[in-house]
Amino acid sequence: MEKLKQRWGLTSNFQVVLIILVFSINGSFAAYIAKPLTKFISLNYETTNPWIFWPVRILLIFIIYQITLPLVGFCFGQFKFFWNFFTKKMLKRMGLEKLFKKT
């Protein structure tokens, strides 16, 4: 726990537990939300080639996960952590960090 606290800049073990809980809940939530979205875009497991269905489904889960991570973190009082350490890094990789920079 001490290594995680130092690496993430946390002050208590309770924060570490909350952050790990947010990761696990958000992963399940993203997979749950991806199911109706695949149906919405007319991708069905029985009728779509698995080589198309699974990459699209995994991509949807990844996108949903990134979008909902700060939202689920907010519900657990850890928005600042997830915004600073994950969302900003993802926006930087996508070249969109200028949208959220303070002037």
Helices (H), the chain: 2-8, 13-40, 50-75, 79-82, 88-94
Number of domains into which the chain is organized: 1
Host domain of residue 9: 2-100
Per-residue pLDDT reduced to its tens digit, 33-88: 999 999 999 888 888 899 999 999 999 999 999 889 999 999 999 998 888 877 66
> Would you tell me the crossing angle of helices 13-40 and 50-75 to the nearest 10 degrees?
140
pLDDT category, 19, cuts 50, 70, 90? very high
pLDDT category, 100, cuts 50, 70, 90? low
